[in-house]
Structure 1
Amino acid sequence: MSRKKFMEAHGASNNNDRNGWGFVNHKEKVVIFGAWDVNTQLDRSLILAMDGEKIEPSRKQNAFGESLEYIKLVENEGYQLQTFPVILDTDSDDGQGTGRVKVKTYVEEISDMKLEIINGDYYAVGKHKAEYATKPLSGLADDVMGIFDSEVDKNGRQSLIMSRVGQGRFRRNVIDVWGNGECCALTLTSVKEILVASHIVPWSVCETNEQRLDGSNGILLCAHIDKLFDCHMLTFEKHGRNYLTRLSPTLDKNTLRGLGVEAGLTLCIDQMKPKFQNRFDDYLKYHNGIFNRKL
Structure 2
Amino acid sequence: MNPLQRTLIEKAGHDNGFEYVLPGDAEHAALASARHPARVRVAVVEQGYEVRIDTGSPTLAQELARTFVTSLADANSFVLPSEALLAHWLRRAAALSQALPNQAVTAFEHQVQAELAQLAPPVAQNTEVLRMVRQRIGQQAYRQAMLDYWGGACAVTGLALAPVLRASHAKPWAVCDSDAERLDVFNGLLLAAHLDALFDQFLLSFDEQGRVLFSPELNTASCAVLGLSPAMRLRWMAPEHQPYLSYHRQRFMAGH
Q: TM-score, normalised by structure 1?
A: 0.41
Q: TM-score, normalised by structure 2?
A: 0.46
Would you tell me which structure has more helix in proportion to its own residues? 2
